[in-house]
Amino acid sequence: MAGKLDLDPRVVRKARRLAARAGQPVVDLARSHTTVSVERAVLRLAGVRGADPDGIPWVNRLVDAVVADVGLEHGVSLPVFDALRDYGDITVLAQKAAAGAVRFRVPSSSHAARRTAVKFARVGLARVDRRRAERDRLIKRWGDPSQRPWIYLIVATGDIHEDIPQAQAAARAGADVIAVIRSTGQSLLDYVPEGATREGFAGTYATQENFRLMRAALDETSKELGRYVRLTNYASGLCMPEMAVMAGLERLDMMLNDSMYGILFRDINPIRTFVDQRFSRQVHARAGIIINTGEDNYLTTADPVEAAHTVTVSQLLNEFFAHEAGLADPQLGIGHAFEINPDVPESFRLELAHALLARELFPDAPLKWMPPTKHMTGDVFRGNLLDGFFNLAGAMTGQSILLVGMMTEAVVTPWLSDRDIALQNVRYVLGAAGNLHEDFVPARGGFIQRRAHQVLGEAIDLLDRIADDTLLNAIADGTFGIMRRPADRGKGLDGVAAHAGDYFNPVTELLEAS
């Protein structure tokens, strides 16, 4: 028996074995398919830049031209790097292809094209490696936050040039991680907007230039404060692999990257999502980026008490998929949320049980705990108190990344003054009880232990059923977040292809070799 919950290690091992059984067919599927976004990500690493006058990236135009001539199933690398010998510059090739001036083929002798593709992929991955090494140097020079959990705060005005001063002000007020929320609907765009953007909807567009601008601004503030301030954005939606590549190139530190969020909450095709998330996580592993998974979202649609075990199942699956893609435990910002209705009897004890279960199942992972949203009513006094209880739960259970709750959640876009009050709440709780997890031990055989054992047992039962009936069927049946998402439907399915016998992806080969 081990830990504060007296979890049986044999039961925990069984849960992980079942998660691997349930997840392996999805990994096999991902390894045998590609998507237009995976192929675009390869070409972004190879150096394709810019967009046409309509704002459509040249990389989209290039992939579309290849697909029109030879299909997607071979990958785009062989046709593109075979044609490149006549043009020299890969962005020029994309522009010519968009104008209809290039015809692509799958070369019968592919050795030269393979060598060139690998050469370009190595150059792109070397840039990612340099940014990772740069992060390590800056952390060593400026230092890391002295306390855990890291305080994670959101900015999102729609205008990157407004986000920057708000992010810097938040860091000066105590935030350790700045997350720039993405513009509503961007996850359903099958291209990445180009350049700095000044108009977004409930968020700011995720673009490579916006990544660069915010990272540079936070570096200035990190130097000023004497601690490295981390930056978060989103590797999700139809362009998940490309977002991962851009994050690696611009030294982002965390990315929201959940295995099922896009399927359940954006109706993106399951196969498209699983193929894209595997490639994106391989890139995150290489870049040293911490992923944040999205289990908190399930609890906004499903009942947080009745469906608690589905969160645990998703956490175990996210861990399996992450490890298979090369991510280490310190990169797993596995998600959870404080979403039980506060009017439910013993709601806080239930929250503690669920939080401590996650902490003990994933002891080396920097868990990301999400504040209450579903039951915020507009009563700012009640909301601030509820956020205080959330912060206390994080302190009592040793959470690693604590998202700052807002008393104006779901009412208005927070003002700087709202953030100040929310940060005061966090600072008070962590200052008064930040190390309470050292002393908090639930009663043996008491309510919290029993509840944690119940949730883990229900999770094992569900994983057993999923392993027998497949994860894709479980998703189609509405097992997670009560959303029904069949594998033959959803957005982006037309951008998926099974590998042909001669499929070639130089980036995947290099990442898996390492």
- 38 within 8 A of 503, measured Cβ to Cβ: no
Report in angstroms the alpha-carbon separations of 130 from 213, 220, 291. 18, 19, 20
* DSSP character string of 19-74: HHHHHHHHHHHHHTEEEHHHHHHHHHHHT---B-TTS-BHHHHHHHHHHHHH-STT
What are the residue ranges of helices labelled H in 250-307?
A: 261-266, 270-287, 298-301
Residue type, 14: K
Classify burial at 468, counting beta carbons within 10 Å of its beta carbon; exposed 0-12, middle 13-18, buried 19 or more.
Answer: exposed
Q: Which of 4, 96, 368, 491 is catalytic?
A: 368
Q: Which of 261, 298, 491, 503 is catalytic?
A: 261
In three-state secondary structure terms, 285 is helix
* Closest of 148, 145, 152 to residue 436, by C-alpha: 148
Cα dihedral: 78, 83, 86, 90 (round 10): -80
Distance CA(389)–CA(174), nearest Å, equals 19
Examine the residue annotation and report whether 119 is marked as an active-site residue of this protein: no
58-70 vs 90-98: helix axis angle to the nearest 10? 60
Neighbours of 413 (CB within 10 A): 14
Residues in the chain: 514
In three-state secondary structure terms, 2 is strand
Report in angstroms the alpha-carbon separations of 402 from 392, 489, 491. 11, 36, 32
Compute the Cα dihedral for 83, 84, 86, 92 and give only its sign. positive
In three-state secondary structure terms, 403 is strand
Examine the residue annotation and report whether 491 is marked as an active-site residue of this protein: no
Q: What is the 3-state secondary structure (H, E, C) of 205-263?
A: CCCHHHHHHHHHHHHHHHHHHCCCCEEEEECCHHHHHHHHHHHHHCCCCEEECCCCHHH
Q: Which of 253, 276, 296, 418 is catalytic?
A: 296
Cα dihedral: 122, 124, 125, 130 (round 10): 120
Neighbours of 172 (CB within 10 A): 12
Q: Which residues of 370-407 are buried (b: 16+ CB within 10 A; e: fewer)?
A: bbbbbbbeeebeebbebbebbbbbbbbbbbbbbbbbbb
Positions marked active-site: 261, 296, 368
